[in-house]
Structure 1
């Protein structure tokens, strides 16, 4: 296995890392994180060090190794203590600059379903017969605990429901966050619960197979991940951000989160580089400095302010749009919704850009 690991990292050095360009926001670094990952030490198909290499090549800053406690189908072949996968992954960070967080998945039927506990010191203490005891053991370690894939059809086939057991966990301080997206699934109900109950929003891959089996990077796809707004690039910096709900979720083309963070991301990604005014025409040149896409849709506005019906700002582009001020109008607002910046179910971020004639 040592030979396999060494050869993997020799191959890693020959590959190009994709540095996903996402802007920092004022006072914080934007870290790209995946807090739900499996290896062969539970029901995954990948060795832990490979998970580190995958994350490095995709430009992630941090991952959490969260192998199942109760479900380990490879145990006859790989018999090890809980948390051994984390130890192997942590060793691999000497070859690839990725932060690795120790975690476990508490794997129970519904209710309460599956939860991840991260920032653990000891995984084995969570191996309890009664699920309540497992959560108590996680809380005793000051773990950050979140509900995984709440809308998973295998456990909630008819509707995405919040059970009394979830209220029990929430009131006991054993639910700090919730997956708003898991893999390629987005759960609008979870987004609403996160807003209403002040839960940290998370998006994770829940990857079991090799990552490039699930996502086609050549076509610009990416794993579902969490953008964490941290004071510093460290495990403690990530813990602080999670506890204070400074996150948004990046899933497919959607970026999901609280309005203030989505607005800050947009404003730090888009730079207006030039404004040319000629009569009633105002030409605005802007640059997207990020790898993010923004989809704009015109909203209610003064009909004398004439501009695009819809517009897609593609990554790393410089483009010019024209706004016309008709019937002697001297100023006005360009109002639009950024439909893929999701602030609540079925609602994108509303934004206004003010224009003025000479």
Structure 2
């Protein structure tokens, strides 16, 4: 019996340790900034989620996230007959548990209203309870009074905008009044080109989050290489204030599936810091460029308009941590020029990849 109990104890310990192995997403630092992997839209049993707040911390740790926001609904609490607590409670539990795990927890709430204006997350709150009010504008005012960072969630959600993703007059009122600082461009696996364009036009911060309710492995098959969407935040330091400062200054891109979405300046810098030129061999009629991808991101290149005397393949994929050669034939005495590409999985405009040129 003692041997059996010892075996079961060791077996349980082994499973527990293996469950807590952290898988880091390897990315380059941008010039002067660290990259934090963040999910700012997460639910627990304190609203309509299916897990305890500590589980969200463990999930984030295992997936290599640096920051999460617990953002339980204010107006929708289907478990309230069983779980009676302040709207601050889920954050309190998660934040205490996260200490020492390298995961920062941000206090937030989801203002959950019909369309318009729909759902919005308020981050960096001091008291979530103050958002519990019948009038939606009073909830936004309470968030603004606490100097919250507020973003519009899933504007293209079928349940609220089944036909067309619209910007309503109520959103103009929120934006003009300083109650909207960003928009979810990606929610779960859904990308909103309309939200992408609004962020560019109105200089709003782009975010990509899970909006997770079930255990994370129910929505993403890690064995197949799937991963949650993340907001990559470029910070000067990883303090809560440093995260806020970066969000307020729009230093973000979104990572989902195998794509990056963001403003071109940050996307281009991320790309250039990810690719290392190992060698350039040039002869009279040929150029051979060997590249190395230093990150966990793939890069997909598609040839665009160029000098037809520079002959090279139409498409390339530079796989994570892989090397790739680009061979260019120089015809008709051409000695130089640019090879031009669209990096199709780096979206700098709605469904349009970043244009990139390399001089020979």
TM-score, structure 2 normalization = 0.95
Q: Of residues 326, 333, 342 in structure 1, which corresponds to 2:347?
A: 342
Change (3 A) 1:14 1:161: closer
Q: Of residues 236, 248, 268 in structure 2, which corresponds to 1:263?
A: 268
How well do the aligned residues superpose, as a CA RMSD in angstroms?
Answer: 1.4
Q: Where do 5+ consecutive residues of structure 1 fail to align?
A: 1-6
SS in 2 for 1:331: coil
Cα distance between partner residues in 2 of 1:8 and 1:133:
49
Q: Which segment is superposed worse, 251-260 or 105-114?
A: 251-260
- Assess if the C-alpha contact under 8 Å between 1:8 and 1:50 holds in 2: no
Asked if 1:215 corresponds to 2:220, the answer is: yes
Equivalent residue number for residue 4 of structure 1: none
- Assess if the C-alpha contact under 8 Å between 1:65 and 1:86 holds in 2: yes
Cα distance between partner residues in 2 of 1:47 and 1:148:
22
Asked if 1:18 corresponds to 2:20, the answer is: no
- Assess if the C-alpha contact under 8 Å between 2:295 and 2:321 holds in 1: yes
Please list the CA deviations of residues 93-150 of structure 1 after superposition, one character each: whole Å capped at 9, or x if unmatched.
Answer: 1352100000000000001000000000000011111000000000000000000000
Asked if 1:154 corresponds to 2:159, the answer is: yes
Cα distance between partner residues in 1 of 2:33 and 2:149:
20
User: 1:216 Cα shift?
Assistant: 1.0
Q: Of residues 228, 232, 245 in structure 2, which corresponds to 1:227?
A: 232
Q: Of residues 307, 319, 340 in structure 2, which corresponds to 1:314?
A: 319
Cα distance between partner residues in 2 of 1:347 and 1:178:
19
Please list the CA deviations of residues 283-334 of structure 1 after superposition, one character each: whole Å capped at 9, or x if unmatched.
Answer: 1111100000111110000001111201111111012221111111110100
Equivalent residue number for residue 3 of structure 1: none
Aligned residues: 349
Q: Which segment is superposed worse, 94-103 or 273-282?
A: 273-282
Q: Of residues 67, 83, 92 in structure 1, which corresponds to 2:72?
A: 67
Q: Where do 5+ consecutive residues of structure 2 fail to align?
A: 1-11
Equivalent residue number for residue 187 of structure 2: 182
Asked if 1:36 corresponds to 2:41, the answer is: yes
Equivalent residue number for residue 58 of structure 2: 53
Equivalent residue number for residue 200 of structure 2: 195
Please list the CA deviations of residues 319-358 of structure 1 after superposition, one character each: whole Å capped at 9, or x if unmatched.
Answer: 2221111111110100000011111113110000011xxx
